[in-house]
Structure 1
Amino acid sequence: MGNGAKYGPVSVPSATLSPEAVALRRHIALLACVAHRAKQVCQVSSLWVTYSER
């Protein structure tokens, strides 16, 4: 990030991003969060199944 600042236009501040780009970033972040949570839930449920089968 730091060395890109001297080129000016190359490093685009988030304030100049279009609403579509911001929405896309939020959507990707949300999907990543949901996927991460789903993975945790799957691990917990598989642990529960393993424990209850004993």
Structure 2
Amino acid sequence: MPDDINALNVAEEIAGRLLKERPELAGRHFSILVTNQDGEEVGRVSLDVLH
């Protein structure tokens, strides 16, 4: 992704699709970890917050 904000936005989109296709994942404390090219954490998108 061109920047951290864009990467986090894409992670939110992916999380939303995951929950739509696999609603049983909600409430199980799963997150999508977003890292930069150096492997440093940029942020996390919790599947619990989206449902």
For the pair shown, which has the larger CA radius of gyration, 1 or 2?
1
Higher relative contact order (CA 8 A, sep 6+): 2
> 1 or 2, which has the higher helix percentage?
1
User: Which range, TM-score by smaller chain?
Assistant: 0.3 to 0.5
TM-score, length-normalised on structure 1? 0.39
